[in-house]
């Protein structure tokens, strides 16, 4: 009778474990959504600095009783350009939109706003990337829906223009309840 060695069992066990993880990932509610530990928690501190003469904001400003959007963006980010008209639309509808400009030279950020329009009630600049880390930003653009108490109800990674009616507006409505 052949003797079974532990090293002979390891590959099938590792394969089965990986297959189980992949299968579980396929059956998530929304496979495009990145989970966030920040959901249902107060917004993290925001240490951003002011962009030129635009108004800036801090975390405490986000607990003002209004449902709002916080959008992390940069001029060098093509998906940020693609989603920008959706942010303009939300702003024109009266949704407060706050921007956090990430790792942009000031001239580039200003040129982006001038070219694309300004949907932002206020803009903070995250020059060193610390705010992005604290907020769990993985890749730009990332958009957060924040309720009136300053609690995050949704984190969406990627441009929002294709999910306005299916994800963003429902989250805004839920946060207003």
Per-residue model confidence as pLDDT tens digits over 96-147 = 999 999 989 999 999 999 999 999 999 999 988 999 999 999 999 999 999 9
What pLDDT does 47 receive? 81
Mean pLDDT of the chain: 89
Residues 42-52, mean pLDDT to the nearest whole number = 92
d(CA 20, CA 34) in angstroms, rounded, equals 19
What pLDDT does 37 receive? 80
Indicate if the pLDDT at residue 34 is higher than 80.
no
d(CA 144, CA 131) in angstroms, rounded, equals 14
Strand partners, 29: none
Structure tokens at 100: 């956090």
Indicate if the pLDDT at residue 18 is higher than 70.
no
Give the max Cα distance, the chain.
81
Strand partners, 98: 70, 122
Judge whether 171 and 145 are in contact, CB under 8 Å.
Answer: yes
Residue found under tokens 């109800």? 153
Residue range 141-170, pLDDT digits in tens: 999 999 999 999 999 999 999 999 999 999
Judge whether 151 and 52 are in contact, CB under 8 Å.
Answer: no
Indicate if the pLDDT at residue 69 is higher than 70.
yes
Q: Please name each of the domains of the chain with its CATH number.
A: 36-176 (3.40.30.10)
Task: pLDDT band for 175, please (50, 70, 90 cuts).
Answer: very high
Q: In the chain, which ranges are continuous DSSP H helix? A: 6-26, 78-92, 106-116, 130-134, 169-176
Structure tokens at 138: 């993985």
DSSP code for 167: I
What pLDDT does 48 receive? 80
């Amino acid at each position: 009778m052949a003797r079974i060695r532990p090293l002979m069992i390891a590959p099938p066990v590792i394969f089965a474990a990986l297959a189980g993880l992949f299968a579980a990932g396929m059956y998530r509610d929304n496979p495009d959504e990145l989970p966030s530990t920040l959901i249902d928690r107060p917004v993290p501190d925001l240490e951003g600095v002011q962009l030129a003469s635009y108004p800036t904001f801090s975390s405490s400003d986000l607990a003002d009783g209004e449902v709002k959007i916080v959008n992390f963006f940069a001029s060098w980010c093509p998906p940020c350009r693609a989603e920008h008209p959706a942010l303009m639309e939300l702003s024109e509808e009266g949704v407060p939109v706050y921007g956090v400009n990430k790792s942009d030279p000031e001239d580039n950020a200003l040129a982006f706003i001038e070219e694309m329009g300004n949907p932002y009630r206020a803009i903070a600049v995250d020059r060193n990337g610390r705010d992005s880390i604290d907020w769990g930003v993985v890749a730009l653009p990332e958009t957060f829906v924040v309720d009136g108490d300053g609690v995050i109800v949704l984190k969406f990674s990627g441009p929002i223009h294709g999910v306005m009616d299916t994800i963003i507006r429902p989250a805004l409505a839920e946060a207003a309840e």
